Amino acid sequence: MLIEVAGVRAPGGRAAEAARLVCEEYADKALHHHSMRSYFFGAAWAQAQGLDFDRELFFVSALLHDLALVPPFDSHTLPFEEAGGHLARVFTAGLGWPTQRRNRAAELIVLHMREDVAPEVDAESRLLQVGTSADVSGAGLEVFDPTFRGALLAAYPRLGFAKSFVRLFQDQAVRKPGCAAAQLVAGGWAERTESNPLG
């Protein structure tokens, strides 16, 4: 794992390494790289804003945020972000995190599929929203320096991510028609995602 991309660093330590390992083992390479890029986009945005944030909490949540899209963790009743929140609570219990911190990891994952959160209210949740939006649909890409974007894509290539991710969301929409993913699919999200300037 590259721990620094164009001056933006990932945290070290047991929790970060465990999250990276689990993501790498269960997600395919395209989804794993998306999780890493989501972290780096969010962290770069925070640094540019001069925003203080909990780097470990954000990294762990970013690496786990889409794992409920993969078969071993997919729920046939819960929206993937809610199932992902439960997965994060179980994962962080194994790390010995206290209940409040475990709940925060779950909250970040659930909120990344909800309405925008103000950074002064919840910095880490906003960073996950910023990072995932930039990487998935290209929303807000213009605020990121092209040099940073190039370095990030070199470190974590997209590997056909857009098409594979659209298929995952379309599957969620068919099986869980009331979920947030279904609303996005119905609203032209797939077209925006597949035309993301990142490729």
> Contact, 6 vs 152, CB < 8 A?
yes
Fill in the DSSP letter of residue 164. H
- What is the maximum span of the chain, computed from C-alpha positions, in angstroms? 42
Packing angle between helix 55-64 and helix 99-111, nearest 10 degrees?
A: 50
Residues 6+ apart with CB under 8 A from 183: none
pLDDT in tens, the chain (199 residues): 668 898 999 999 999 999 999 999 999 999 999 999 999 999 999 999 999 999 999 999 999 999 999 999 999 999 999 999 999 999 999 999 999 999 999 999 999 999 999 999 999 999 999 999 999 999 999 999 999 999 999 999 999 999 999 999 999 999 999 999 999 999 999 999 999 999 8
∠ CA 65-71-76, rounded to 5° = 85
